[in-house]
DNA sequence: AAGGCGGGGGT
DNA sequence: ACCCCAGCCTT
């Protein structure tokens, strides 16, 4: 093992004094580590912790997760976002059960074969559970390394990222990887923060090139910026026979895949004069239509403006439409059961926003 | 190599 | 408003 560098040692020493007490640090069970890492992808500790505790409680073993219906997994994931993580989690659980004899992959290369596990997560699991010497490179590590070495080129350039990974691995090589990996991420999260880094009390002050040049707040630099598109949704919240409603599972390669929503009409714009429009031009005159406010829902790449039309439909009218095949792919459920289905945050917000009762 | 994928919180 | 958060998959 190479001689510990002062820098790597400083980070680990800092960690020993400043580490938070996080639940996934109390185990080396690869299944639980895996759960925590998938949950925490692009997610803050504050947001992800309750989900981690829920998942290890509801699905204490790999078998529990693999044998659960995907709809249940998505329901438990509801509100956390990036739902492909939950779908891949469930898929990979079954992959391990069926293709790996239920034995959790125990090295970086095999971990990478799991759907939803990339370079970061494979390094995390292999180091935390098996002490494999693979450095984790997440947003925290990119920030720490790029500042430490004064790398002011775009970190979203693969060549620059590769350099950062090499620098990080060199530091990791001099320490116990399972400790160093936790330490450098914690250091990035608490000390070398994105905004207002705490340079005044930083143990790396003397070796940090960004600090020396006073350019901490310009590093890491990203060249790309996200562009947002506007989308306009009209949802039909049918109350059929004073008790039931229609929902449908989203299946397209689009947002919220696998989640349920009301019948949807998507428009180029929300033009108020259109008012209530039945999907697919259904000719029916509901006795009453309650129009919601416009819900503005902000996603990373999309701004959605949605209006909900709550309409009352008789059983006879519903039967008529059903006979015409209008609602072939929709699910007729009791309104009171709607919260048993995984719903996008937008739908959930609408349902909880109703100051009036559901009926 | 680039684009798409949620939701919450900080500044 | 914009950025960031224990990233990854698809095209």
Beta bridge partners of A298: A303
% chain A with pLDDT above 70: 92
How much is the pLDDT for A73?
A: 98
Considering only CA atoms, which residue is closest to the C1' of nucleotide B6? A81
The string of pLDDT tens digits covering residues A65-90 is 999 999 999 999 999 999 999 999 99
How much is the pLDDT for A327?
A: 82
How much is the pLDDT for A329?
A: 85
% chain A with pLDDT above 90: 83
How much is the pLDDT for A320?
A: 86
How much is the pLDDT for A279?
A: 52
Q: What CA–CA distance (Å, rounded) separates A180 from A199?
A: 20
Residues near chain C (nucleic strand), Cβ < 7 A?
A 22, 24-25, 36-37, 40-45, 47, 82, 84, 88, 114-122, 124, 138-140, 143, 182, 185-186, 188-189, 194, 220, 222, 225-226, 253, 300
Strand B reaches within 7 A of the A301 CB: yes
Residue A350: band (very low, low, confident or very high) from pLDDT cuts 50, 70, 90:
very high
Distance A146 CA to C10 C1' (A): 29
Considering only CA atoms, which residue is closest to the C1' of nucleotide C7? A41
The string of pLDDT tens digits covering residues A313-342 is 999 889 988 888 878 889 999 999 999 999
Strand B reaches within 7 A of the A256 CB: yes
Strand B reaches within 7 A of the A252 CB: no
Q: What CA–CA distance (Å, rounded) separates A74 from A333?
A: 18
* Higher pLDDT among residues A269 and A70, named by residue: A70
How much is the pLDDT for A268?
A: 86
How much is the pLDDT for A189?
A: 97
Distance A3 CA to B4 C1' (A): 43
Residue A352: band (very low, low, confident or very high) from pLDDT cuts 50, 70, 90:
very high
Distance A51 CA to B7 C1' (A): 13
Residue A355: band (very low, low, confident or very high) from pLDDT cuts 50, 70, 90:
low
How much is the pLDDT for A3?
A: 57
- Cα separations (Å) of A220 from A148, A164, A203, A210, A300? 10, 11, 19, 10, 20
* Cβ contact A179:A162 at 8 Å: no
Q: What CA–CA distance (Å, rounded) separates A167 from A175?
A: 14
- In the predicted structure, residue A138 carries a pLDDT above the cut 50: yes
* Cβ contact A136:A204 at 8 Å: no
Task: Decide if A37 is catalytic.
Answer: yes
What is A69-119 written as a DSSP string? Answer: -HHHHHHHHTTS--THHHHHHHHHHHHHHHHSTTPPP-SHHHHHTSTT--H
- In the predicted structure, residue A136 carries a pLDDT above the cut 80: yes
- In the predicted structure, residue A225 carries a pLDDT above the cut 50: yes
* Cβ contact A32:A22 at 8 Å: no
Distance A255 CA to C11 C1' (A): 17
* Cβ contact A120:A73 at 8 Å: no
Residue A281: band (very low, low, confident or very high) from pLDDT cuts 50, 70, 90:
very low
Distance A134 CA to C6 C1' (A): 14
* Cβ contact A238:A326 at 8 Å: no
Distance A47 CA to B8 C1' (A): 7
Mean pLDDT value of segment A261-268: 93
Mean pLDDT value of segment A188-207: 97
A14, A17, A19, A21 alpha-carbon torsion, rounded to 10°: 170
Q: Give, as ranges, the nucleotides of chain C with any atom within 7 Å of a protein CB.
A: 2-11
Strand B reaches within 7 A of the A200 CB: no
Q: Give, as ranges, the nucleotides of chain B with any atom within 7 Å of a protein CB.
A: 1, 3-11
């Amino acid at each position: 093992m190479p001689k510990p560098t002062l820098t790597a040692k400083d980070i680990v020493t800092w960690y020993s004094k400043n580490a938070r007490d996080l639940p996934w640090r109390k185990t080396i069970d690869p299944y639980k580590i895996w759960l925590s890492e998938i949950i925490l992808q692009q997610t803050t500790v504050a947001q992800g912790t309750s989900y981690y505790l829920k998942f290890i409680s509801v699905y204490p073993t790999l078998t529990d997760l693999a044998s659960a219906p995907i709809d249940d997994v998505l329901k438990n994931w509801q509100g956390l976002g990036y739902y492909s993580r939950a779908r891949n989690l469930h898929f990979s659980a079954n992959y391990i059960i069926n293709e790996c004899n239920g034995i959790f992959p125990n090295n970086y290369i095999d971990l990478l074969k799991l759907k939803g596990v990339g370079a970061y997560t494979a390094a995390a699991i292999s180091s935390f559970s098996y002490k494999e010497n693979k450095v984790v490179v997440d947003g925290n590590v990119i920030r720490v390394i790029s500042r430490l070495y004064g790398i002011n080129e775009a970190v979203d350039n693969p060549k620059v990222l590769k350099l950062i990974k090499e620098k990080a691995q060199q530091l990791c090589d001099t320490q116990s990887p399972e400790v160093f990996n936790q330490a450098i991420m914690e250091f990035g999260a608490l000390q070398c923060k994105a905004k207002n880094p705490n340079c005044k009390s930083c143990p790396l002050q003397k070796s940090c090139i960004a600090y020396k040049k006073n350019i901490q707040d310009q590093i890491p630099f990203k060249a790309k910026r996200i562009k947002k598109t506007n989308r306009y949704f009209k949802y039909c919240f049918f109350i059929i026979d004073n008790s039931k409603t229609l929902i449908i599972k989203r299946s397209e390669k689009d947002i919220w895949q696998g989640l349920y929503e009301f019948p949807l009409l998507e428009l180029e714009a929300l033009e108020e004069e259109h008012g209530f429009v039945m999907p697919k031009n259904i000719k029916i005159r509901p006795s009453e239509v309650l129009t919601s406010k416009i819900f503005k829902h902000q996603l990373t790449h999309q701004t959605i403006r949605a209006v909900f039309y709550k309409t009352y439909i008789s059983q006879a009218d519903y039967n008529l439409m059903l006979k015409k095949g209008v609602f072939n792919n929709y699910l007729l459920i009791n309104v009171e059961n709607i919260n048993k289905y995984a719903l996008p945050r937008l739908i959930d917000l609408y349902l909880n926003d109703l100051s009036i009762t559901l009926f």
